[in-house]
Structure 1
Amino acid sequence: MSFHHVDQGVYEKGGARINKPEAKALVADLVERLQSPGFRESRLTIGVVTFNAEQQALIEDLLDEERRRDPSIEPHFADAELEPVFVKNLESVQGDERDIVYFSITYGPDHTGVVSMNFGPMNRTGGERRLNVAITRARHELRIFSSLRAEQMNLARTQAIGVRDLKHFLDFAERGVPALATATTGSLGSFESPFEEAVAAALTRQGWELHTQVGASAFRVDLAVVHPDAQGVYLSGIECDGATYHRAATARDRDKLREQVLRGLGWEILRVWSTDWWIDAAGTLEKIDTDLRRLLAKSRSRRATKAVATSPAASAAVVGENAAADVRPESVTNDQNRCSAA
């Protein structure tokens, strides 16, 4: 599985319901694969899955143009000995399989950069089953082209199981196995103590958005701070020595083990002691607020560096430098990022 982010992708919602940049990027990659030396001899077959019929039609038109431009790829669409390339949407792909499947997510930011939480069939009952069908059509390789990243999806705005599964799927496609450990279903409950509620209220007045009891099993974060720049991810978790803390069997479990596990799952953890809050609530709040702003600055710097490194212009510069040095790069990609979280 590989994730290919289309940075300039725009979803034309409400009208055309297509994503032209994403379709063009997908078709370019597919045609390059068909034209590559030895691909026909490999006898690998290809299929394309889209989220709606409009994106399907667009990709079919783009492929027709490529077939007219380069007749050498025509056998992949018409050879009776091999399964031909197909392009189908989420509703019509059931039962079809190919060795390599391209998946166009289609949905993404609109012309103003806003991401709607309306993902068509994903929002309806049974949407998760449609997604399951789409992502299990590949025998050998699944290539996801998306203008949308998991961090842009805010599960607080929907209760649809299909949308939740789509977010986790995109996160896994981009980051790999580490995404499994940090997948959450959002808030699992209310405050467990008046102390937690007081801390949350104070931080909310400072402008932070918080969710309560986020995580799984016994390793839930008391308060999770939503990232201001990406509503689908958390900037930090805040541990309070409230009910969950005091239920731990030993001091080691309370003070070390829980935090180690949470950090191992990818959380940045800050701690608020009830005694500090009781003695100096204003000072403790100021310290937590300062720590959160430090984490935010660090995150923004990391995200900016990542955006520059993965931009098409940066990749072109790398290629140009290598060419000038008469060096053939083994691989220059800008979209198969499986590394760290935001």
Structure 2
Amino acid sequence: MMLKKVVNNNSRKSLKFIFSNYPLAIHTLFPVLMTTPDSAAILLETKPNLFNQVIFDEASQLFVEKTIPIIYRGQRIVVAGDSKQLRPTNFFGIKNTGEEETEDFNDNLEAESLLDFVNGKIPSRMLRYHYRSVHKELINFSNTGFYTDQLFTNSNTKLSTIPIEEIYLPEGKFINRQNRPEAEAVVNKIEEILETRKHNETIGVITFNVEQSVLIQSLLDKRAQNNKKLADELNRIVDRKNYSIFVKNLENVQGDERDIILFSFGFAKNENGVFRNYFGPLSDRGGENRLNVAITRAKRKIYLVKSIKSYDISKDSKNKGPKFLHYYLKYVEALNNPNIEPELRDDFLDNVLGELRNEETGNNVVESEVVEVKTTNPEFQAEVLVALDQLIQENGYGKRFQIKQQIKVDNYLIDIGIYDKKEQKFVLGIEIDGEHYNKTLAQKEYDFYRQKYLEVRNWEIYRIPLLKWEVNREKVLRDIALKMEGVK
């Protein structure tokens, strides 16, 4: 009641006052609080076991010392983060002499994170599902280079365009840490996207240094004065969520995502035609993590605007960043090579990823863990296959559709797939739940997340339990036939 009076009387009491004087009411009304470690240390009672559980997200960017006050207040902690992304940066922890940066300057900026601190001290597990990228081409490089091919990344989406499109500008020059031709190309492409997009896609821009992001932002603001669509997109708020075009550099884009990402690489030959193989913090120790953050922000499409080729970047750096950058540009160039037939493109991409993998593992191939645990009744599956084959033949579906077995989707196996030869994609995945399929609680949970993952990858899954087949196989076959008939 007292808390209600404080709020209703518009007394302008501080949050500190409210949290300090009404802790029980706060915890009753808000059993789950979302806050930062700094705010928690100021606002919350200094009392052990104040929370049953404390969850730290993006723990790779949290200073250990900042988290101690909130750890003290929790009975149990969960630390979530990615060691292959950015660590916290301590810009005030070293002396800046004012001289030009060297390759060692930024090596001392990164501090130990909470994620680093707890590594090996508490139980851990890897979250292997990747949900952001609609197309596997957007995440495959990171999957190989950073996650030893452990992520689940497959897609059942037919490619209408190349997911990573290269815009090569040999005339680009890197002068005063800016590349104006690239900046103008980025703004031109954004205006084109706004005129041609079909699904109101969101847009983000990532640069490899601050100066290039400032230039691009200024060009966007100037163009927006005469382009209402661009002006609206620069201030796009929907249901109090910000979907505006952002322009950020490698250091501050972690946690963001957009449907379409445009990269301005920036680095190029200078006005004297000299190319310097140094890429700012990306060249320093741990710089490859900055690249990983940048290239995993897109959900549907990446445009890479650049003024150099992969062979311009030396792989002789003592740190991994330039090597990874070399292979990423090579990967994008292979994806965009007009001389490679589309059906052979995956082989060329695999060759590039194989080179990267060998660089990282010394030719020691890391085998992915087999996670598929479902056991199918072979007699039941054979019976279903015969019935499906008969269904296709009797209804004249054979010219359009084909039955395939044991379709591999990452480390999953889908029992049967109905493949559309015209659209070159599966229209239905069929799971055979036989009599030996024991649904423990763990298996039910596994099935739930497995199906969610496949659905995000544009798979439609139809389950056929043995009992359902025995009781009403005609309805099962009718359902499958309706699905094929519904395909245009």
What is the TM-score with the length of structure 1 in the denominator?
A: 0.51
- 1:3 and 2:173 correspond: no
Counterpart of 1:127 in structure 2 is 287
Q: Would the aligned equivalents of 1:131 and 1:162 in 2 still touch at CA under 8 Å?
A: yes
Alignment-mate amino acid for residue 18 of structure 1:
Q
Q: 166-175 or 106-115: which moved more?
A: 106-115
- 1:43 and 2:213 correspond: no
Alignment-mate amino acid for residue 203 of structure 2:
I
Counterpart of 2:262 in structure 1 is 102
Matches within 5 A, 1:1-342: 1-12=164-175, 16-36=176-196, 39=197, 42-81=199-238, 83-156=243-316, 158-176=317-335, 177=346, 178-182=348-352, 184=355, 216=363
Question: Partners of 1:153 and 1:73 in 2: how far apart?
Answer: 35
Q: Would the aligned equivalents of 1:172 and 1:180 in 2 still touch at CA under 8 Å?
A: no
CA gap 1:152/1:180 in 2 versus in 1, 3 angstroms: farther
Question: Partners of 1:54 and 1:45 in 2: how far apart?
Answer: 23
Q: Would the aligned equivalents of 2:194 and 2:229 in 1 still touch at CA under 8 Å?
A: no
1:123 deviation in Å? 1.1
Deviations 1:183-211 (A, max 9, x none): 647x99xxxxxxxxxxxxxxxxxxxxxxx
Q: Would the aligned equivalents of 2:314 and 2:323 in 1 still touch at CA under 8 Å?
A: no
Alignment-mate amino acid for residue 147 of structure 1:
S
Q: Would the aligned equivalents of 1:124 and 1:162 in 2 still touch at CA under 8 Å?
A: yes
Question: Partners of 1:128 and 1:72 in 2: how far apart?
Answer: 36
Question: Partners of 2:172 and 2:363 in 1: how far apart?
Answer: 34
Alignment-mate amino acid for residue 199 of structure 2:
S
Question: Partners of 2:355 and 2:173 in 1: how far apart?
Answer: 28
Alignment-mate amino acid for residue 163 of structure 1:
P
1:79 deviation in Å? 2.5
Question: Partners of 1:179 and 1:159 in 2: how far apart?
Answer: 26
Alignment-mate amino acid for residue 75 of structure 1:
D
CA gap 1:179/1:109 in 2 versus in 1, 3 angstroms: farther
After TM superposition, which residue ranges in structure 1, 4 or more long, deviate above 3 angstroms?
Answer: 182-185, 215-218
Counterpart of 2:421 in structure 1 is none
1:170 deviation in Å? 0.6
CA RMSD of superposed structures (Å): 2.4
Question: Partners of 1:146 and 1:179 in 2: how far apart?
Answer: 20
Alignment-mate amino acid for residue 229 of structure 2:
S
1:101 deviation in Å? 0.4
Q: Would the aligned equivalents of 1:55 and 1:106 in 2 still touch at CA under 8 Å?
A: yes
Deviations 1:93-117 (A, max 9, x none): 1111000000111111222222211
Question: Partners of 1:78 and 1:5 in 2: how far apart?
Answer: 29
Structure 1, unmatched stretches of 5+, are: 189-214, 219-342
CA gap 1:179/1:75 in 2 versus in 1, 3 angstroms: same
1:216 deviation in Å? 4.8
Deviations 1:237-270 (A, max 9, x none): xxxxxxxxxxxxxxxxxxxxxxxxxxxxxxxxxx
Alignment-mate amino acid for residue 108 of structure 1:
A
Structure 2, unmatched stretches of 5+, are: 1-163, 336-345, 366-488
Larger RCO (CA under 8 A, 6+ residues apart): 1
CA gap 1:161/1:180 in 2 versus in 1, 3 angstroms: farther
Question: Partners of 2:313 and 2:273 in 1: how far apart?
Answer: 13
Alignment-mate amino acid for residue 92 of structure 1:
N
Question: Partners of 1:127 and 1:53 in 2: how far apart?
Answer: 16
Q: Would the aligned equivalents of 1:10 and 1:111 in 2 still touch at CA under 8 Å?
A: yes
Q: Would the aligned equivalents of 1:24 and 1:62 in 2 still touch at CA under 8 Å?
A: yes
1:217 deviation in Å? 6.9
Q: Would the aligned equivalents of 1:105 and 1:146 in 2 still touch at CA under 8 Å?
A: yes
Q: Would the aligned equivalents of 1:171 and 1:179 in 2 still touch at CA under 8 Å?
A: no
Question: Partners of 2:293 and 2:256 in 1: how far apart?
Answer: 10
Question: Partners of 1:6 and 1:22 in 2: how far apart?
Answer: 7
Question: Partners of 1:140 and 1:77 in 2: how far apart?
Answer: 20
Quick check: which one's helix share is greater?
Answer: 1
